[in-house]
């Protein structure tokens, strides 16, 4: 029986084979640890990070609220750099909970997936 982390890594590899970020449409990658959530917008062709956000400095105890704030912050940074369209990379996590909240907040702020 595989561990939860190994299953996530296998899902991540399958996703990364299909999802590529370029100049016109970079990749919005999500990473969750036990305490924090991170998001960054990456151009895979040039190996460049355009925007990044995390909840390291947010003092709110509610993880859902923090995930929403990270989505809003990364969307604001993208829109400031004239990036409106991204490819969503959920990082092997299932599209529920914090990952979905972050994605929905970024969409509400104006990013298109």
pLDDT tens-digit series, residues 44-89: 998 999 999 999 999 999 999 999 999 999 999 999 999 999 999 9
Task: State residue 28's pLDDT score.
Answer: 97
Instruction: Inform me whether the pLDDT recorded for 1 exceeds 80.
Output: no
Q: What is the dihedral of CA 7, 13, 15, 21, to 10 degrees?
A: 150
Q: Which domain holds residue 31?
A: 4-109
Q: Which residue has the tokens 């999500």?
A: 30
pLDDT tens-digit series, residues 45-57: 989 999 999 999 9
pLDDT tens-digit series, residues 7-37: 999 999 999 999 989 888 999 999 999 999 9
Instruction: Inform me whether the pLDDT recorded for 99 exceeds 80.
Output: yes
Output the domain CATH number for residue 72: 3.30.420.100
User: Domain count of the chain?
Assistant: 1
pTM above 0.85, yes or no: yes
| Tokens at 88, concatenated | 């969503």
Instruction: Inform me whether the pLDDT recorded for 104 exceeds 80.
Output: yes
């Amino acid at each position: 029986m595989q561990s939860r982390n190994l299953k996530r890594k296998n899902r991540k590899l399958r996703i990364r084979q299909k999802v590529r970020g370029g100049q016109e449409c970079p990749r919005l990658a999500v990473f969750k640890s036990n305490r924090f959530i991170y998001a960054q917008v990456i151009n895979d062709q040039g190996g460049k990070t355009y925007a990044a956000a995390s909840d390291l400095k947010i003092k709110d105890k509610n993880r859902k609220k923090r995930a929403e704030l990270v989505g809003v912050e990364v969307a604001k940074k993208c829109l400031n750099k004239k990036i409106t369209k991204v490819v969503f990379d959920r990082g092997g996590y299932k599209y529920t909970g914090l990952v979905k909240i972050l994605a929905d907040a970024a969409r509400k702020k104006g990013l298109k997936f």
